[in-house]
Amino acid sequence: MRIDLAGRTALVTGSTQGIGLAIARGLASAGARVGVNGRSHESVARAVEDLARDVPGVDVVPVVADLATDEGFAAAVDTLPDVDVLVNNLGIFGSRPALEITDEEWRRYFEVNVLAAVRLIRHHLPRMAARGWGRVLDIASDSAVVIPAEMIHYGTSKTALLAVSRGFAKEAAGTGVTVNSVIAGPTHTGGVEDFVYELVDRDLPWDEAQREFMVKHRPQSLLQRLIEPEEIANLVAYLASPLASATTGGAVRVDGGYVDSILP
């Protein structure tokens, strides 16, 4: 099975590190021209350098924009007005006791994790439909289905993203555009390492800290380890390709068996 995205342009939001950078690398390796997005010129430049080193001959478009703002959205669509593949990966997370989450924090999580994706879908979906081909992929989380007690604001925003994906898939019905969400499980990124150390002893070596975190806080995982970003990227590359033409309106899991359900 060969994934070929030659001639396609993709935008991956929040792609200067972690899962987003791995997705950008995966799409570039499949031949796509890739828009790399971050809020600062420095972070985007570093990501572009990483991709140029890892994928010789890659065609990268720097997209410096804070997509949680109207100004950032305008800058992004000005830089890349038309894309064939839109990957809404941008997201923030963090732990907070439920009763201490402020109105301001709730609004911030929905602006970044939900509305940034909605704005881009609203812009790009009609253009994809007019061309008769396109892929919209929203990167959700196991937390959308199994709401974590320590970060219900994050989990709730990802639940909303599942609904956004399903709803826009209906809007795209019959157009040749597919819209799906990807339920990513606990994944090994720098940000997650910080999160793990918020919940376990900071003096533990990483391998021990990871094991303790999985046993105490994510015992449902059948993988029994954190997922590597490249494992998320592999599924995204497939869903972005012509091979996934009959998959739409779905919440596709790459969660290491974390969600204890036959369906999401």
Span 175-181, mean pLDDT? Answer: 98
Radius of gyration (Cα) for the chain, nearest Å? Answer: 18
Mean pLDDT of 209-224: 91
Give the mean model confidence (pLDDT) for residues 187-195: 86
**What Å distances lie between residue 92 and 53, 64, 139, 210, CA to CA?**
27, 17, 12, 21
Q: Is the dihedral of CA 54, 55, 56, 57 positive or negative?
A: negative
pLDDT of residue 194: 87
**For the chain, where are the alpha helices, taking DSSP H only?**
18-29, 41-54, 70-79, 103-110, 116-131, 152-171, 190-199, 206-217, 229-240
Q: Tell me the Ramachandran region of residue 18: left when phi exceeds 0, alpha when psi lies from -120 to 50, beta otherwise.
A: left
- Residue 88, pLDDT score: 98
Task: Calculate the average pLDDT of the chain.
Answer: 96
Q: What is the DSSP string of 183-203?
A: EE-SB--HHHHHHHHHHS-TT
Which of the four pLDDT bands, split at 50, 70 and 90, describes residue 263? confident
Domains of the chain listed by start with CATH number? 9-187+227-254 (3.40.50.720)
Would you say residue 200 has pLDDT above 90?
Answer: yes
Label residue 192 by pLDDT band (50, 70, 90). confident
264 has a pLDDT exceeding 80: no
Q: What tens digit of pLDDT does each residue of 56-90 get?
A: 999 999 999 999 999 999 999 999 999 999 999 99
Express each pLDDT in 150-169 by its tens digit. Answer: 899 999 999 999 999 999 99
Q: What is the pLDDT of residue 214?
A: 93
In this predicted structure, the answer to whether residue 224 has a pLDDT above a threshold of 90 is no
Average pLDDT of the residues in 188-201: 88
Q: List the structure tokens of 163.
A: 């609904």
> Which residue has 């881009």 as its token pair?
120
Amino acid at 141: S
Choice among 127-136, 188-197, 239-248 with the minimum mean pLDDT:
188-197
Percent of the chain with pLDDT over 90: 90
Q: Is position 197 annotated as part of the catalytic site?
A: no
DSSP 240-263: HSGGGTT--S-EEEESTT-S-SS-
Going from the C-alpha of 241 to that of each of 29, 131, 185, the distances in angstroms are 12, 16, 22
pLDDT tens-digit map of 90-148:
999 988 999 999 999 999 999 999 999 999 999 999 999 999 999 999 999 999 999 99
The pairing of strands 134-141 and 33-38 is unpaired
Kindly state the average pLDDT of the residues 43-59. Answer: 97
Region 35-48: what's the mean pLDDT?
98
